[in-house]
Amino acid sequence: MVKALPNGSLKRKMLRELSGMMGQLVAIASVVAIGTMVLIISLSTRLSIAQSQQYFYDQYQFADVFMHVTRAPNDMAMRLQELPGVNQVETRIIASARIQIDDFPEPIQGQFQSVPDFSEPMLNRLYYRYGGPPQAGQIPQVVVTEPFAEAHHLQVGDSIQAILNGRLQRLEISGIALSPEHIYQLEPNSILPDYQRFGVFFMQRSALATVFDLEGAFNQVSVSIQYGADPHDVVSQMNALLERFGSHGAYLREEQASHRFLSEELEQLRILSWVLPTIFLSVAAFLLHVLMGRMMLMQRQTIALLKAFGYSNRQILTHYLSFSLCIVGLGLIVGTLLGYWVAEPLARLYAMYFKFPEFMFGIQIQALGVAMAITALAALAGTFSSVRKALIMSPAEAMRPPAPPSFHHHQSILGPMYQKLTPGTRMIVRTLSRHWFRSVIAIFGIGMSGALLILGGHQFNAVDHMLDHQYRGVFRMDLDVQFTEARPHRVIHELTSIPGVFFAEGYRQVPVRLHNRHRYERVSLSGLPEQPHLRHVLNQQMKSETLPGDGILLTRYLAESLQLNAGDSVYVETLVGHQRRLELRVAALVDEPIGIGAYMERVALNRTLFEDDVVDGAWLLIDATDPTVYQTLQRLPYIASIGSLLDAESDIRDYIQDTVLSVMMIMFFLAGTMTFAVVYNNARIMFSERERELASMRVLGFTRWEVLWVLVGELAVLIVIAIPLGWIFGAGFSYAMVSALSMDMFRIPWVLDMRLFAMATFGVLFAALLSIALISRRVLNLDMIQALKTE
């Protein structure tokens, strides 16, 4: 037996091949780097937020169950403590008030929460960034949440004014803090935080009880449950115990507003951390498969010689796998470094909305391990099948050139047109038809790159469409005014009489729990006029629905989560006042991209609740140039808050821009880079395998431009076919993405237009022109003697 050559020879061979194929290797490594970068960004951001959240919850005792009541005596806390499964009980007082701050003329809504007079709360403890708990004194003290303090540049020792239970009081700030139940600080019935117009304040329980006449009582309770206890049993027992005290219904942590929105954001990041990297790394595996397949074809004789010299199949397989791992290893290193470089500022951007005592960002070993495993898998997937085909051949068979593809007359396909083609064009037709499978793979790869451009660009257009739908089609008002309590409908006439108010429309909002078998959702049931003018309810055809007097309208997303359709019955459990359980017919489904809700005709809703014709708030159409409107509204004692729709739209645009679109902008840029890498890699491989053929054409008298046309024409045909395929893939990817990212806060619609397809087409064509420019230099400067040398 012939003695095997040392492994060092294979290493030198690998280094020569790596240096000789630098352009292709950089192209493939860049795709791997992109996939790794997206994986590191999304996974590290998600893990950092999740770890920061869990640390805050654990260290500051975030409760498991929450419940609001109208008024319950303090001795009920002992009864709650005795319930099976209950670990700790914390009763509190929660009330709303209007805040006045110098140099900020707009109305501010405050939520006041009590803290024990002489101790820390057992549950939902505060993290004090500055200062400390409120103390008793001549001027009542409060602790304010950090986001609100930052928005108004408040410091410890500053004073604010609040209208507490109708009385104006001066309050001194004793501390600035964060709370685990206000990581995402939301005003009730809002979906986005507004730190300038809503704040949370913590006040001594005795002082707050005195102001709101709740001495010896509470109106909110938080509970932690014992390990292993069934939380749903605890909820049922709490509801039964406190029902007679005006219970609003107990709910679990999963339904708590801050936790729910944070969980949905983490779920979005989880989806992005797997879907996008999978697409990018699948393309990388595809490129490696194409590269290694053609490399095996060109190195058949080399592999035969290696086997003849005694190299085992394992050694040869290891050699080519090492070649692939070098490529993906380069991409892994670059992608990891870029990923962590981009991930930290992106995570800090999320931290602007989710407030933690400590944001735990760092090198996530889990993210790095996942990136290494997935990229290695991509290398193996792209290499093993190609190398295996070459290894199963005997040396004698491998020494022979590959069998030529089947031949057939192309004139029968193209007819007389075939004879009119130039010789170079005929060569293109023959190559594409004889190597049809290779052509299909190339078309698929180019189409995928175009699809990613559509996927990245789709989000920008869809967000504009979503916000236009909500703030131009659904909302037609300028201001949303909420009252301190339900008032007779005649208050609408009083609001209409204010100078600068053109039109006012009252509404009713009742917190309810909707049931369909084992599924349920806590939502606000809105009572609107039969034909609303300032707040439309639109169906799928973008037509305004009439509010039914004997049924209920549900947003489509809510109906799908409850598995309901139009015509079905849904059980409605009211959570305020005299709690009732009603069975209502779902009259129709409406399409609203922001929030979830249920709607009913206002008079019918009040009649169902056995109440007079009352409203909880009003929508106003005003003269935006008249500054006295705000001033007049703020002087009305029954107005709790005033919300501007213009400000709300601006806030949600900023939020989506900072979160979803930031990720998509990065992905769009990376998709463009990958498009060039895919097209260039295909062009480079085509040149490598046809270099001898192109040199032969030059020897036979073809001009440089005729030779170049053979290469460029083949690539052009592939691109022309791949572009519409990319449109189809891109539309499918976009639909899957918006479906996966739908959540309670907002649902980005699936909106496609010609500009999106034109942009993707331009991106692919630009990448093709750039690739052709790079390849043309090699073709025009082809060394015929070197290319025609026998191996």
Q: What is the 3-state secondary structure (H, E, C) of 686-700?
A: HHHHCHHHHHHHHHC
Q: In the beta sheet, which residues pair with residue 72?
A: 218
pLDDT over 50 at 503, yes or no: yes
- Residue pair 343/44 in contact (Cβ under 8 Å)? The answer is yes
Cα angle 596-457-340, degrees, rounded to a multiple of 5: 90
Higher pLDDT, 133 or 738: 133
State the burial class of residue 407 (Cβ atoms within 10 Å of its Cβ: 0-12, 13-18, 19+): exposed
Report the pLDDT value the prediction gives residue 724, as an integer from 0 to 100.
93
Average pLDDT over residues 509-537: 86
Region of residue 266 (phi > 0: left; psi between -120 and 50: alpha; otherwise: beta) = alpha
Average pLDDT over residues 631-636: 84
Q: Tokens 């209920």 identify what position?
A: 552
> Taking the model in full, what pTM does it have?
0.76
Residues 713, 159: Cα–Cα separation, whole Å: 76
Ordered by start, the domain boundaries in the chain are 59-258, 435-474+651-791, 479-623
- Judged by average pLDDT, the poorest of 283-292, 310-319, 595-604 is 283-292
Q: Which helix (H) or strand (E) holds 319?
A: helix 313-351
pLDDT over 70 at 791, yes or no: no
pLDDT over 80 at 399, yes or no: no
Report the pLDDT value the prediction gives residue 417, as an integer from 0 to 100.
67
pLDDT over 50 at 1, yes or no: no
- Judged by average pLDDT, the poorest of 214-218, 223-227, 370-374, 622-626 is 370-374
Report the pLDDT value the prediction gives residue 202, as an integer from 0 to 100.
96
Strand 251-252, strand 167-178: pairing? unpaired
pLDDT band at 785 (very low <50, low <70, confident <90, very high): low
Q: Tokens 């054409």 identify what position?
A: 697
pLDDT over 90 at 753, yes or no: no
Helix, strand, coil percentages (3-state) for the chain, rounded to 5, are: 55, 20, 25
pLDDT over 70 at 711, yes or no: yes
Report the pLDDT value the prediction gives residue 2, as an integer from 0 to 100.
45
Report the pLDDT value the prediction gives residue 414, as an integer from 0 to 100.
56
Q: How many other C-beta atoms lie within 10 A of the C-beta of residue 414?
A: 15
Amino acid at 650: S
Tell me which DSSP letter residue 5 carries: P
Residue 375's Cβ-side half-sphere holds a number of Cα atoms within 13 Å equal to 32
Residues 647, 193: Cα–Cα separation, whole Å: 11
Q: Which one, of 356, 312, 335, lies nearest residue 57 by Cα?
A: 356
**% pLDDT > 90, the chain:** 20
Residues 702, 693: Cα–Cα separation, whole Å: 12
Residues 738, 453: Cα–Cα separation, whole Å: 15
Of 13-27, 293-307, 419-433, 546-560, highest mean pLDDT = 546-560
- Residue pair 212/64 in contact (Cβ under 8 Å)? The answer is no
Per DSSP, the residues of 635-689 read H-TTEEEEEEHHHHHHHHHHHHHHTHHHHHHHHHHHHHHHHHHHHHHHHHHHHHH
Q: How many other C-beta atoms lie within 10 A of the C-beta of residue 579?
A: 16
Q: Which one, of 282, 458, 311, lies nearest residue 3 by Cα?
A: 311
pLDDT band at 405 (very low <50, low <70, confident <90, very high): low
Strand order in the sheet with 86-92: 86-92, 217-225, 65-73, 251-252
Residues 691, 688: Cα–Cα separation, whole Å: 5
At 156-177, the pLDDT tens digits run 999 999 988 878 899 999 999 9
Residues 707, 637: Cα–Cα separation, whole Å: 85
CA distances from 275 to 48, 185, 285, 389, 740 (A): 19, 30, 15, 31, 10
Residues 177, 747: Cα–Cα separation, whole Å: 33
542-560 in b/e burial notation, b at 16+ Cβ within 10 A? eebbebbeebbbbbbbbbe
Higher pLDDT, 81 or 431: 81
Residues 709, 746: Cα–Cα separation, whole Å: 51
Q: How many other C-beta atoms lie within 10 A of the C-beta of residue 94?
A: 16
- Residue pair 663/41 in contact (Cβ under 8 Å)? The answer is yes
**% pLDDT > 70, the chain:** 89
User: Which residues does 2 contact at the CB level (< 8 Å), separation at least 6?
Assistant: 308, 309, 310
pLDDT over 70 at 7, yes or no: no
